[in-house]
Amino acid sequence: MKKTIGIILAAGRGTRMGENKMLMRICGYTPIELCMRAMEESCVDEIIITVTDDTARHVHDLPCTKPVKTVLGGETRGESVYNALCAAQDADIAVIHDGARCLVTPDIINRSVEEAKKYGSAVASLPVSDTVRNFENITLDRDSLRIMHTPQAFQYELIRDAYEKDGMHTNTDDCGVFIQADGNPHYFESDFMNQKLTRPSDIAFFESCIHRRLGQMRVGIGEDTHRLVEGRKLILGGVEIDYRMGLLGHSDADVLCHAISDAVLGACALGDIGKHFPDTDPAYKGANSVLLLHRVMTLCRENGFCIVNVDATVTAQEPKLAPHIEKMRENLSGALGVDVSCVSVKATTPEHTGPEGNLECITVRAVATVQKIS
Ligand code: MG
């Protein structure tokens, strides 16, 4: 069956931003992630993302319920689009979207697809409401002008053939390529919010738009205890710590990862790790709990949540954990897909009281806050 293919362009250099804007975080989300989420929730069947080496790694880590393919971008926007079109198989409609327009909604994408099915093409655009004057001081007739946005959707063969004819690849949008190949584009009204992240001064606008779409903040709590025994490794937050005893458990018994996993699952009301990774399942014998935490995070993202922050306290009489805290935070932030500044790990000694104080066990208590974007 013919498919609707969504193409996200994320291979640009972002020279006006001074850094790779596709990897910047706006309220915790990268532009690529926001576009991918909009595509995921739209009627698009498959997603192709044009990437650089840097963005490829990030895309690879993003969970998505729809098939996602990456294609290396070219020297110009046009070359990147052409590479993506060549990688689209059995496509009926191609929806091309600039990754920097990361406030796009599933609704705009769906409208572009519906109208392209009807008219052969559908280009998101806006009328001009400002006075426009050129450098010769001539005021242009704004009623004769339109601002081009993306998504721009086309019947697949029409746009692929247009790009094949366009050897130069210098057009700054797909509609330009389509017109050059004698296409007669159909325009539909975009949304004012569907702006392009271009300059550092744009960030405040993007943050405030995303804040409006963020749902209620939710908190989860997690607690776990494992017994200290001889002949086992001591692994906390993915760090192997040199100590005469280790933690007993079916997996690697990383009690810190387990407590954080439960806090994240709790915040999303998705059960607990015992439910998702039962200790009766041989698949999890000796399992690396950092990888389990990564899988918990995938589940959390599949349900539309992102992590705001995580805080954990390890209660252990011995050994000294302070030298290992930074490495733990790094491992945990990697698994959670958030900046290290959003992950806190603290250690406390119980003053020789209780089972932790008697070296019988180590306990971790953790909280996680999550938010859902609508
Ligand atoms: Mg456990």
Span 181-239, pLDDT tens digits: 999 999 999 999 999 999 989 999 999 998 888 888 999 999 999 999 999 999 999 99
Mean predicted confidence (pLDDT) in 38-47:
96
What spacing in Å lies between the alpha carbon of 214 and ligand 1's midpoint?
32
> Can you tell me the distance from the alpha carbon of 272 to that of 255, in angstroms, rounded to the nearest whole number?
14
Give me the chain's average pLDDT, please.
93
Note the pLDDT of residue 132: 96
Note the pLDDT of residue 278: 86
What spacing in Å lies between the alpha carbon of 201 and ligand 1's midpoint?
46
Tokens for 87, please give them: 């990688």
What spacing in Å lies between the alpha carbon of 261 and ligand 1's midpoint?
10
3-state secondary structure 134-177: CCCCCEECHHHCEEEEEEEEEEHHHHHHHHHHCCCCCCCCHHHH
The answer on pLDDT for 281 being more than 90 is no
Mean pLDDT lowest among 110-114, 208-212, 247-251, 315-319: 208-212
What spacing in Å lies between the alpha carbon of 30 and ligand 1's midpoint?
32
Note the pLDDT of residue 65: 84
Q: φ, ψ for residue 219 (rounded to 5)?
A: -120, 140
What spacing in Å lies between the alpha carbon of 227 and ligand 1's midpoint?
10
What spacing in Å lies between the alpha carbon of 258 and ligand 1's midpoint?
5
CB 339 within 8 A of CB 330: no
What spacing in Å lies between the alpha carbon of 110 and ligand 1's midpoint?
44
Note the pLDDT of residue 321: 97
What spacing in Å lies between the alpha carbon of 360 and ligand 1's midpoint?
15
Largest CA distance in the chain: 84
Note the pLDDT of residue 239: 98
User: Exposure string (b/e) for 343-373, b if CB count within 10 Å is 16 or more?
Assistant: bbbebeeeeeeebbeeeebbbbbbbbbbbbb
What spacing in Å lies between the alpha carbon of 372 and ligand 1's midpoint?
27
The answer on pLDDT for 156 being more than 80 is yes
What spacing in Å lies between the alpha carbon of 315 and ligand 1's midpoint?
14
Note the pLDDT of residue 290: 96
Note the pLDDT of residue 294: 92
Percent of the chain whose pLDDT exceeds 70: 99
When pLDDT is cut at 50, 70 and 90, the band that residue 338 belongs to is confident
What spacing in Å lies between the alpha carbon of 254 and ligand 1's midpoint?
7
Helices 77-87 + 156-165 axis angle, to 10? 130
When pLDDT is cut at 50, 70 and 90, the band that residue 351 belongs to is very high
When pLDDT is cut at 50, 70 and 90, the band that residue 87 belongs to is very high
The answer on pLDDT for 28 being more than 90 is no
The answer on pLDDT for 313 being more than 80 is yes
What spacing in Å lies between the alpha carbon of 65 and ligand 1's midpoint?
28
The answer on pLDDT for 339 being more than 90 is no
The answer on pLDDT for 15 being more than 80 is no
Note the pLDDT of residue 54: 86
What spacing in Å lies between the alpha carbon of 302 and ligand 1's midpoint?
23
Q: pLDDT tens for residues 230-250?
A: 999 999 999 999 999 999 999
Note the pLDDT of residue 66: 93
What spacing in Å lies between the alpha carbon of 288 and ligand 1's midpoint?
12
Mean predicted confidence (pLDDT) in 142-155:
97
What spacing in Å lies between the alpha carbon of 231 and ligand 1's midpoint?
18
What spacing in Å lies between the alpha carbon of 255 and ligand 1's midpoint?
5
When pLDDT is cut at 50, 70 and 90, the band that residue 337 belongs to is confident
What spacing in Å lies between the alpha carbon of 251 and ligand 1's midpoint?
8
What spacing in Å lies between the alpha carbon of 289 and ligand 1's midpoint?
9
Residue 133 vs residue 1, higher pLDDT: 133
The answer on pLDDT for 116 being more than 80 is yes
What spacing in Å lies between the alpha carbon of 174 and ligand 1's midpoint?
53
What spacing in Å lies between the alpha carbon of 82 and ligand 1's midpoint?
49
Encoded amino acid at 28, one letter: G
What spacing in Å lies between the alpha carbon of 253 and ligand 1's midpoint?
6
The most confident of 30-39, 48-57, 107-116, 210-219, by mean pLDDT: 107-116
> Can you tell me the distance from the alpha carbon of 331 to that of 310, in angstroms, rounded to the nearest whole number?
13
Note the pLDDT of residue 120: 97
